[in-house]
Amino acid sequence: MPPPAERGPNAVGLTPPVIAPPPLASGMANPPPAPPTEPGLADLAIGVAIVWGVELGLGLMIALAGIAAGHGRSTRGFQLAMNPWLVLVTSLVSGACMAGVAWFMTSAKFRRPLFQGLIRRGISAGAAAWCAGLGFLAAAAAMGLMHLFSTGDSFMAKLAASNEGLAVICVVALALPFAEEAYYRGLIFPVLERWIGRWALLAVAVWFTIPHVFQLAGDWIGVPIIFAMGCLWTWQRHRTGSLLPGLITHLAYNFTLMAASVVARALGWEQ
């Protein structure tokens, strides 16, 4: 047996006593709940109200400018709405608003990086290549349907009749996927998915399609195509938990359509 001087907490076979924390005094307030780490319905409502307010303001600006320019004649107002540079400015302002709202509600509000708050997770180079190929195939299918059933009577078709209009459409088509994916699939879809489950996929696809109806009015085959693509991109976000697959597919889809339009214009293949 070791001498008494060695019988301390460091002696072999002995452990220090465990001291339990004192119990909470009766009447002591519970600790405050942890702050939310994801945007909720209130955040979504505020963000959507901001985007709709900006888009409504842009629409009213175009309408009032058209009335003033045409002295009340609707044809002059329509010609103003068809101005390529006005379309470019209003589209980019709307896109910047969507992207800004999505960034603030998912990242800045919770003081976390953009990647963590909005994009969520990365993907491999192979997965990115598959997504790009999927976008190319979807664009090829869309062009086939448009060739068979398109009337060429939509707002977008009329805007693309001029070289300036086609150039503006190309810029918008390659810039807006970042804003649309951030807004619809980065902000709206996760919030709705937590509340209504998989029905959020259908809801976001319909929501995404509605703003495109005006652009495609008169050439209605484009509406179900946009709806199908909205379902695909939202499903990619749901399936992978990342914003990148849908964004890559969206960009590849738009790039293929724009490249085909430019080549057809250059070679005189347009009908």
H-state helical runs in 107-198 = 114, 125-149, 155-159, 163-180, 189-196
pTM (two decimals)? 0.83
Residue 54's CB: how many other CB atoms inside 10 A? 18
Enumerate residues 6+ apart whose C-beta is below 8 A from 115: 122
Q: What pLDDT score does 106 carry? A: 96
> Are the beta carbons of 206 and 192 closer than 8 angstroms?
no
Identity of the amino acid at 84: P
Domain chopping of the chain, boundaries: 41-267
User: Mean per-residue pLDDT for 27-52?
Assistant: 82
Q: What pLDDT score does 60 carry? A: 85
Region of residue 197 (phi > 0: left; psi between -120 and 50: alpha; otherwise: beta): left
User: Mean per-residue pLDDT for 253-263?
Assistant: 97
Residue 123's CB: how many other CB atoms inside 10 A? 16
Burial 176-192 (b: 16+ CB within 10 A, else e): bbbbbbbbbbbbbbbbb
User: Mean per-residue pLDDT for 94-104?
Assistant: 98
Residue among 162, 184, 177 at smallest CA distance from 235: 184
pLDDT at 17 over 90: no
Q: What pLDDT score does 68 carry? A: 66
pLDDT band at 269 (very low <50, low <70, confident <90, very high): confident
Q: What pLDDT score does 104 carry? A: 97
DSSP state of 25: P
User: Mean per-residue pLDDT for 244-268?
Assistant: 96
Enumerate residues 6+ apart whose C-beta is below 8 A from 187: 39, 44, 47, 101, 102, 105, 106, 118
